[in-house]
Structure 1
Amino acid sequence: MTEPVPAPRIGDAERDQATEYLREHLAQGRLDQVEFDERMTAALSARTQPDIDRLFTDLPAPRPGQELAVPQAAKAPVAAADALPMSPKLVNAMGVLTAVIWPVTLLLLFAIGWGQYWWLIFVPIAVSSLWGHYQQQNDQHRKRLRREERRRLERGNDDPDAS
């Protein structure tokens, strides 16, 4: 009598694909947050393909083993979208404005006195805050793009149009 052959083990690529599909089902409203969390935990700890398949028995496509529909715009090369959309002139202008507004405001307040114009200090604070928020978002966007590019290259898919 022969023993049943155990299912082959899966790797990070299969677990990543399953979590990507679970996120899609959450976005489509097929899963609530609690069920998504449970299935995500199970997907990340799965060791064999049947462990993954069990998570999708009651869900429609996409499922592991099926291609996730990717919009054509998402298949564009990552380098083409290297930063958040903002014109270079506006980026330079915001950088200069942020660098100049602090000394100008402080000189103005010292020249005219803090008296009734103390609130002017909030102008450079607001400008600096907005610029810092933009820079942070831009950095996060670039990091995400680099991560996606690295994953794509690790999977051996260096042709962005291949699918």
Structure 2
Amino acid sequence: MNDPEIRVGDAEREEALRALGDHMSAGRLDIDEYGERTARVAASKTRGDLLELFKDLPAPKPTFIAQPVVQPQAQPVPAMPGPAPPQRWSGSRTALKTYAALIPVVWVLAVMAFFVVKVPFVFLLPVFVMIAGARMWGADWHEERRNQRRHREQWRHNQRRHRGRY
């Protein structure tokens, strides 16, 4: 198995480089000699070329143990995501009720702020809160009411259509 004419691969070269690094750390090789030997490791083609570099050195030496060949698994390529659909806020009735309770509180705070600051522009704050709330919850609330009405009409229609058939 240690035939010097067998060609080496990257794994064997890396093993030889690690061994040379260990010898340099132990003080057996100076930096210049380490540089020369690592260059020869990179240029080596056969096991004999690598073993020649370790003739005058004790262990560790390259062992040339057959490494199992691991075939890379084909990874599925994820599909490119398309454009995200526009997100709509689907508010709950609790949030709508909280907003409805917030409006009088904001008006009270505006009146209190008017007496402290004496600036009439504080009354614009509740107006802005109402506009923002209508933008956030208004359309959804109306759409929900329309859907409920449609659902109720469909149910009534089905009840009339199937009356007496059950």
Do both share a fold (TM > 0.5)?
no
Higher helix proportion, which one?
1
Higher relative contact order (CA 8 A, sep 6+): 1
Class of the TM-score when normalised by the shorter of the 2 chains = 0.3 to 0.5
What is the TM-score when the length of structure 2 is the normalising length?
0.37
Larger radius of gyration: 2
